[in-house]
């Protein structure tokens, strides 16, 4: 028994440590890429998708249907969080972060390649909704995983600082998503933009995902999880533990984020919808 404990302690002392700069970059760049993918959909759902993926009889109905597909991701995000969170606590942070980034990236590129309603009819919005669900799954896994990646690699007394870097990915992704559409609107005619230009950000996401994967694959597992795995103390049902031992914190966190994102999307997506309709 003593020999086993000594061996385990020896293994834990030699857990590979990630470069602090690499941890910051990996947590920030992955979140920025996923939010870029998430927000280009928000922009396109207002100015492009009603005209491409839905029947054109009633513009208001087409816009509402497009925004309904946008909302699908908010159903998928908690599912993705529970799914990737489960495997993150069972098999490791690194593997699930790579998987969540791939899920988001593949879903985004599929959206950029989808034919419109005029080509495949009702299958166009159905496939769009399915790909949007995939985006939600990916982002649900990314958010918590990136925060864990940063904080579990943080030096003493700097967990809060390191945990802030994934949060910075959201405004960075938002800025570049809208900036990309703005740039395309300047460079292309309206016909070019509606024909193929809107697809560029979705397909270009593949390049960003490859960069993000390169950074994340080069990381070691977080020291915290590596020690847990070495001791074979992974939680069997992480979600069950969360809902039974951390109920109050879970409820508070849920309603805080609900309020935050409700206000955020009222200001962004709804205001864009209103301004676009007024401009027409």
What is the model's pTM? 0.85
> Is-contact 108 180, C-beta < 8 A?
no
163-172 mean pLDDT:
89
Residue 154: DSSP 8-state: P
- The verdict on residue 157 lying in a domain is yes
Token representation of residue 153: 């690699």
Residue 162 lies in a domain: yes
Which token pair is 97?
């972060």
Average pLDDT over residues 100-113: 95
- Give the pLDDT of residue 274: 63
For residue 150, give the CATH number of its domain.
1.20.1250.20
Tokens (6 digits) for 70: 């946008």
CB within 8 A of 158, min separation 6: which ones? Answer: none
* Res 279: pLDDT: 56
The reply to whether 260 falls in a domain is: no
pLDDT value of position 131? 97
Asked if 66 contacts 46 with a C-beta cutoff of 8 angstroms, the reply is yes
- Better pLDDT: 1 or 62: 62
Q: Cα-flanking dihedrals φ and ψ of residue 248, to 5°?
A: -60, -45
Assigned token pair, 92: 């490791």
Residues in the chain: 280
| Mean per-residue pLDDT, 35-54 | 92
Largest separation between any pair of C-alpha atoms in the chain: 77
Q: What would the mean pLDDT of 113-141 be, rounded to a whole number?
A: 95
Whether the pLDDT of residue 135 is over 60: the answer is yes
pLDDT reading at 266 higher than 80: no
Tally of structural domains, the chain: 1
In a domain, 8, yes or no: no
Extract the tokens encoding 232.
């074979």
Q: Tell me which range, 18-27, 34-43, 197-206, 208-217, is most confidently predicted by mean pLDDT.
A: 197-206
Identify the domain containing residue 197 by its residue range: 18-233
List C-alpha distances in Å: 14 to 2, 88, 219: 19, 22, 16
Has residue 200 been placed in a domain? Answer: yes
Q: What is the pLDDT, as a whole number, of residue 220?
A: 85
Residue 4 lies in a domain: no
- What is the average per-residue pLDDT within 235-262? 85
- Is pLDDT above 80 for 249? yes
Pairwise CA distance, residues 100 & 80, whole Å: 8
Q: Phi and psi of 14, rounded to 5°?
A: -110, 30
The pLDDT > 90 percentage for the chain reads 40
Pick 239 or 116 by higher pLDDT: 116
Residue 58: predicted pLDDT: 87
Predicted pLDDT at 8: 40
Q: Over the chain, what is the mean pLDDT? A: 86
* Window from 22-36, 164-178, 257-271 with minimum mean pLDDT: 257-271
277 pLDDT band, cuts 50/70/90, is low
DSSP 138: H
Listing DSSP states for 113-131 in one string gives H---HHHHTTHHHHHHHHH
pLDDT at 170: 87
pLDDT score for 7: 41
Closest by CA position to 66, among listed 206, 259, 263, 272: 272
Residue 273 lies in a domain: no
pLDDT higher than 50, residue 47: yes
The residue-averaged pLDDT of 13-30 equals 78
Among residues of the chain, what percentage have pLDDT more than 70?
A: 89
Distances (CA, A) of 146 to 29, 81, 231, 267: 10, 12, 23, 26
Question: For the residues 200-227, what does the mean pLDDT come to?
Answer: 90
- Please check whether residue 245 lies inside any domain of the structure: no
Residue 3, pLDDT > 60, answer no
The whole-number average pLDDT for the span 23-47 is: 90
What the block records as the tokens of 20 is: 């602090």
């Amino acid at each position: 028994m003593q020999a086993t404990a000594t061996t385990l302690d020896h293994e834990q002392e030699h857990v590979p440590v990630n470069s602090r700069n690499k941890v910051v970059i990996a947590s920030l760049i992955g979140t920025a890429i996923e939010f870029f993918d998430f927000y280009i959909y928000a922009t396109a759902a207002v100015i492009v998708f009603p005209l491409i993926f839905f029947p054109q009889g009633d513009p208001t109905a087409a816009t509402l249907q497009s925004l309904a597909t946008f909302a699908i991701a908010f159903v998928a995000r908690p599912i993705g969080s529970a799914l990737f969170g489960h495997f993150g606590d069972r098999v490791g942070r690194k593997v699930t972060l790579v998987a969540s980034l791939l899920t988001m990236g593949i879903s985004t590129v599929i959206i950029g390649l989808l034919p419109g309603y005029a080509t495949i009819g009702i299958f166009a919005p159905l496939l769009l909704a399915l790909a949007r669900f995939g985006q939600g799954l990916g982002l649900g896994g990314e958010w918590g995983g990136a925060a864990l990646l940063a904080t579990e690699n943080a030096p003493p007394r700097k967990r809060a600082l390191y945990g802030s870097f994934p949060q910075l990915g959201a405004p960075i992704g938002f800025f570049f998503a809208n900036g990309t559409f703005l740039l395309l609107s300047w460079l292309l005619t309206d016909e070019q933009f509606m024909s193929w230009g809107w697809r560029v950000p979705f397909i270009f996401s593949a390049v960003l995902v490859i960069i993000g994967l390169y950074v994340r694959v080069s990381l070691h597992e977080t020291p915290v999880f590596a020690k847990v795995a070495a001791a074979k103390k992974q939680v069997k049902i992480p979600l069950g533990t969360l809902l039974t031992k951390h109920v109050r914190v879970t409820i508070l966190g849920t309603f805080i984020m609900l309020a935050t994102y409700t206000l955020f999307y009222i200001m962004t997506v709804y205001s864009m919808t209103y301004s676009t309709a007024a401009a027409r």
